[in-house]
Amino acid sequence: MAGANEGNVEVKGGLRSDQISGVVLIAIALVVIWFNREFPVGTLADPGPGYVPLLLACTLGGIGLLVAVMGARSQSMAGTEWPEATRALIIMVACIAATFALERIGYRLTTAAFLVFFLGVIERKHPLAVVLVPAGFSFASFYVIGTLLKVPLPVGPWGF
């Protein structure tokens, strides 16, 4: 199981990870406060729909400030290693493409194409495996989940 800060290197000086985290938490709090303007906050005695979100955003901002201030001894950003970042990005892009395709071309075709991409292009597995695993997985999972368990799954314009 990969853990946090795994494989990181200790580097002195520069921005620390907790300082960045704190600033991001403050930014999230400010964004929430900005969008919360649309909702009546009400009063302490009679809170409106904007009251609790505002309270939570202020709390988040406060905690973010403390994380940033107390983060001087945390892991240096320069020492944080991201060896898996490229692969992670590719995975995310493939998942986004599959989500776009899911209701357009149907579950079986989307899943098969998704697995062909990973096994054939990314992992460069044997061509036979690249054909059999995606076909087997997409049809078998559709049969079990869609047909046997009667969970409606998207079907493409070709009825497939």
Interaction residues for other proteins, span 5-34 (CB under 8 A)? 5-6, 17-18, 20-21, 25, 28, 32
Name the minimum Å distance from CB 157 to other proteins.
16
Name the minimum Å distance from CB 73 to other proteins.
11
**Residues 46, 74: contact at Cβ < 8 Å?**
no
Which amino acid makes up residue 139?
F
Name the minimum Å distance from CB 158 to other proteins.
19
Q: Which two tokens stand for residue 95?
A: 């998942």
Site for other proteins (CB under 8 A): which residue of 9, 27, 78, 87? 87
Q: Which two tokens stand for residue 51?
A: 């009251």
Residue nearer to other proteins on the CB measure, 12 or 148: 148
> What's CA 147's distance to the chain center, in Å?
30
Residue nearer to other proteins on the CB measure, 12 or 59: 59
User: Binding to other proteins (CB under 8 A): which residues in 25-84?
Assistant: 25, 28, 32, 35-36, 39-40, 43-50, 52-53, 56-57, 59-60, 63-64, 66-67, 70, 74-75, 80, 82-84
Q: Which two tokens stand for residue 139?
A: 């049809």
- Per-residue x/- mask for other proteins, residues 101 to 130, rule CB under 8 A? -xx---x---x--xx--xx---x-x---x-
Task: Give the span between the Cα atoms of 74 and 10, in whole angstroms.
Answer: 10
Helices (H), the chain: 17-35, 51-69, 85-105, 107-116, 127-141
